[in-house]
């Protein structure tokens, strides 16, 4: 536990999870739909609670044993869970852990291996626990540097692991399905290297990453055996023309970077510039933002102008539990060929 210990209980489903504490299943689902990690605290569980449990980074109960509904569901779904938490009393807007009050919305850590529950302090190694809401609130490149600099060391535990973030895999799969395997590939907005790991796992051999945050790039540098996922890592602002020579790459990928508050549609022009003719692209864009922020219009214009030969937008889930009607839970993976 990184934060202050709160209580202990029966460890029934191994693993660690961090999330915002919720005591109402509907509120927990709403928060998960917005991409924020959740820990659900409940007296005991029933089938009506399964949807919220599946979206949670951890589950806590007042009652229940190794064969209870909560234990069976969490073990089967690999959700960290601690049951029969000692001294836990649930109110409408807070939970008491003995004499310590934790308000709904505060970050809590669940260790389903040891049975420990703690109050997360959000500090990895000087890190800070942040959220998708804060990411979407970004307005300038300097905002991005500040947020991702603070989030780098806990990004994967706070967000990727806690939310079941399968988006990088889905984008990588769409890219590889039409890539001939020759030539270098650029991972735009590579962050901590999650997309690069997926590409590497799928057989892409030469991958470069570019990101605005040196702290995120530092995390990416450690990916793979001996830090071998990326050939080169580049710190640059992709809202402007970079120093990358035109026509360098045989492929480009990106997941979650071309979106509100990050890279706008016009940055796709720089992406095309660094690609060689015939290069394949696979760019994941939140479905809502694809329509409302001008990304579809940009791709339509790029076809008309002859910058790309064609494009296809393929629906894909962002989170493991996403469905077509999940707000902010679906993306369009736009695959295209550069002219």
The answer to whether 92 and 99 are in contact (CB under 8 A) is no
The answer to whether 210 and 238 are in contact (CB under 8 A) is yes
Domain ranges of the chain: 4-119, 161-338
Integer CA distances (angstroms), 47 to 24, 73, 77, 301, in order: 15, 9, 14, 49
Listed as ranges, residues in the chain with pLDDT below 50 are: 1, 122-129
The overall pTM is greater than 0.85: no
Rounded Cα–Cα distance for residues 109 and 121 (Å) = 9
Q: What is the pLDDT of residues 271-329, one digit of tens each?
A: 999 999 999 999 999 998 898 899 999 999 999 999 999 999 999 999 888 777 665 68
Single out the residue of 336, 232, 222 nearest to residue 284, CA to CA: 336
**CA-CA-CA-CA torsion sign (327, 293, 220, 231):** positive
Can you give the pLDDT at residue 132?
57
CATH class given for the domain over 4-119? alpha beta
User: Which homologous superfamily is 161-338 in?
Assistant: Vaccinia Virus protein VP39 (3.40.50.150)
What 62-71 contacts at long range (C-beta under 8 Å, 24+ apart), as own/partner pairs, is 62/88, 62/89, 62/90, 64/10, 64/12, 65/10, 65/12, 66/10, 66/12, 68/12, 68/44, 69/44, 69/45, 70/12, 70/42, 70/44, 70/45, 71/12, 71/13
- Grouping H, G, I as helix, E, B as strand and the rest as coil, residue 233 is strand
Beta bridge partners of 282: 253, 335
The answer to whether 212 and 205 are in contact (CB under 8 A) is no
The answer to whether 58 and 80 are in contact (CB under 8 A) is yes
Rounded Cα–Cα distance for residues 93 and 273 (Å) = 52
How remote is the C-alpha of 108 from its chain's centroid? 18
């Amino acid at each position: 536990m990184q934060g202050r210990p709160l209580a202990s209980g029966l460890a029934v489903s191994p693993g660690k999870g961090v999330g915002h504490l919720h005591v109402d299943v509907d509120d927990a689902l709403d928060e998960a739909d917005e991409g924020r990690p959740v820990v659900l605290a409940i007296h005991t569980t029933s089938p009506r609670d399964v949807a919220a449990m599946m979206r949670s980074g951890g589950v806590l109960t007042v009652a229940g044993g190794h064969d209870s509904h909560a234990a069976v569901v969490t073990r089967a779904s690999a959700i960290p869970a601690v049951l029969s938490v000692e001294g836990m009393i649930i109110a409408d807007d807070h939970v008491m852990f003995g004499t310590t009050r934790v308000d709904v919305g505060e970050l809590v850590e669940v260790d389903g291996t040891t049975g420990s529950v703690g109050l997360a302090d959000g500090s990895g190694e000087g890190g800070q626990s942040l959220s998708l809401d804060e990411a979407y609130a970004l307005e300038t490149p300097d905002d991005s540097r500040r947020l991702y600099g603070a989030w780098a060391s806990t990004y994967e535990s706070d967000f990727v692991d806690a939310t079941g973030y399968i988006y990088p895999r889905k984008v990588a799969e769409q890219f590889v399905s039409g890539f001939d395997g020759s030539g270098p590939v650029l991972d735009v907005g590579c962050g901590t290297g999650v997309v690069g790991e997926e590409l590497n796992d799928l057989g892409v051999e030469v991958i470069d990453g570019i990101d605005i945050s040196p702290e995120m790039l530092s995390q990416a540098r450690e990916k793979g055996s001996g830090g071998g996922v990326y050939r080169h890592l580049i710190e640059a602002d992709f809202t402007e023309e970079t120093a990358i020579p035109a026509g360098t790459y045989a492929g480009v990928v990106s997941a979650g970077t071309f979106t509100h508050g990050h890279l706008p549609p016009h940055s796709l022009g720089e992406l095309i510039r660094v690609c060689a003719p015939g290069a394949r692209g696979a760019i994941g864009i939140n479905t809502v933002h694809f329509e409302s922020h001008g990304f579809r219009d940009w791709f339509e214009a790029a076809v008309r102008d002859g910058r790309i030969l064609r494009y296809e937008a393929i629906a894909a889930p962002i989170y493991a539990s996403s469905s077509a009607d999940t707000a902010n839970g679906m993306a369009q993976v736009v695959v295209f060929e550069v002219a």
